Amino acid sequence: MPAASTASVLHQVPIELGDRSYPISIGTGLLDEPATWAGAPPAAHALIVTNTTVAPLYAARLQKALAGRHKAIHVVALPDGEAHKDWQTLNLIFDALLENASDRKTVLYALGGGVVGDMTGFAAASYMRGIPFVQVPTTLLAQVDSSVGGKTAINHPLGKNMIGAFYQPRLVVCDLDTLGTLPAREFSAGLAEVIKYGPIADMPLLDWLESNIDRLVARETAALAHAVRRSCEIKAWVVGQDEREAGLRAILNFGHTFGHAIESGLGYGQWLHGEAVGCGMVMALHLSQRLGLVGMDFVERVTALLRKARLPVVGPALGADRYLELMRVDKKAEAGEIKFVVIDRPGSAAVRAAPDALVREVIAHCCRPS
């Protein structure tokens, strides 16, 4: 008799986008359970896209779980890290698709963190002008943010995520058990993307995070399930109203304008994305305070939470000129004018321009030599 399944779907969050709608399943033991994948598109061929770190942990297990859905399941393991989120690595996915005579019904499975998910989604959007893909995020950052909403991209030496497409997955499966193998630094980086949802949209979540940050750092399943579910609910609400970032969705980039400058300025991979975003949130909070939108008590409150999540809260001293140069390449910039996501009041965010002189003050206050 086969062993009883230990899989448990703790939450299901819908992304409502008309005929592009899809569910996010959040739970434990989901990766190995064939029933998990009933919502994946049927196809003769599938390609699991992962990286050299995640492949030895989970690729064979996912292949086994999918065996009843696809006749042939291939695996391509990309080099790991943000430094490899480029054209050269993207072509490894296309190579695997073409070498295995993949057709337009072939399903891609993005098994890994945000880099794998972004690149797999971009490959799916591009191959034969669009094939289906499924997100299987194995990092906290990917589960609460990058796997949801259909933003796909690769980096360019002059700017992060500047080449890509909006392309929705068919299914997102967040198996909380995969978070147990994350290094502590990667886990903390994911907490930055959880924390951001409080200041921009949900003060009760911020209250909860302050009370439960130690449980999250300890990776307690119940705390993780709540944090992932609420993060996905907020992102689903935003994406459902503004799929292509024409307005509201831009608030999800809180901390990202400064953060992307840190990543690009230091060289991709020196700081993890979530580390740069966490520090970028501190800088954006100080900008909000200098614009007269929030008090210093709120800035210090969120900064203290980021510190408890073991995230950097002081930026590298790239120099104000370099920060400004990099931020003018940000996707929100218009005609060279930098736009920042600021907190206009606790629990609410807006996109605003700010005088360069004020931004220079923030950089001088928040940064030190790396």
Q: Looking at residue 3, what is its pLDDT?
A: 46
Q: Looking at residue 1, what is its pLDDT?
A: 36
Q: Looking at residue 6, what is its pLDDT?
A: 79
Q: Is 55 exposed, middle or buried (CB count within 10 Å of its CB: 0-12, 13-18, 19+)?
A: buried
Per-residue pLDDT band at 159 (split at 50, 70, 90): confident
Using an 8 Å Cβ cutoff, are 343 and 293 in contact?
A: yes
- What CA–CA distance (Å, rounded) separates 112 from 89? 15
Give residue-wise pLDDT tens across range 80-139: 999 999 999 999 999 999 999 999 999 999 999 999 999 999 999 999 999 999 999 999
**Percentage with pLDDT > 90 across the chain:** 92
Residue 109 pairs in a beta bridge with 48, 134
Q: Looking at residue 331, what is its pLDDT?
A: 72
Q: Looking at residue 276, what is its pLDDT?
A: 97
- Model confidence, pTM: 0.94
Using an 8 Å Cβ cutoff, are 341 and 327 in contact?
A: no
| DSSP code for 3 | P
Phi (first) and psi of residue 101, to 5 degrees: 50, 45
Per-residue pLDDT band at 5 (split at 50, 70, 90): low
Tokens read off for 121: 């989604």
Mean pLDDT of 203-232: 98
* Long-range pairs, 156-159, Cβ under 8 A, ≥24: 156/86, 158/264, 158/329, 159/260, 159/264, 159/326, 159/329, 159/330
Q: Looking at residue 4, what is its pLDDT?
A: 52
pLDDT for residue 242 is more than 80: yes
Residues 6+ apart with CB under 8 A from 89: 78, 79, 119, 154
Mean of per-residue pLDDT scores for the chain: 95
Give residue-wise pLDDT tens across range 308-355: 999 999 999 999 999 999 999 887 777 778 999 999 999 999 999 999
Q: Looking at residue 368, what is its pLDDT?
A: 78
Give residue-wise pLDDT tens across range 55-76: 999 999 999 999 999 999 999 9
Catalytic positions, please? 129, 151, 193, 235, 245, 249, 253, 256, 260, 273
Per-residue pLDDT band at 369 (split at 50, 70, 90): low
For 262, the 3-state DSSP assignment is: helix
Residue 195 exposure: Cα atoms within 13 Å on the Cβ side: 32
Give residue-wise pLDDT tens across range 136-156: 999 999 999 999 999 999 999
Q: Looking at residue 246, what is its pLDDT?
A: 84
For 27, the 3-state DSSP assignment is: strand
Give residue-wise pLDDT tens across range 245-265: 889 999 999 999 999 999 999
Q: What are the structural domains of the chain?
A: 8-181 (3.40.50.1970), 200-368 (1.20.1090.10)
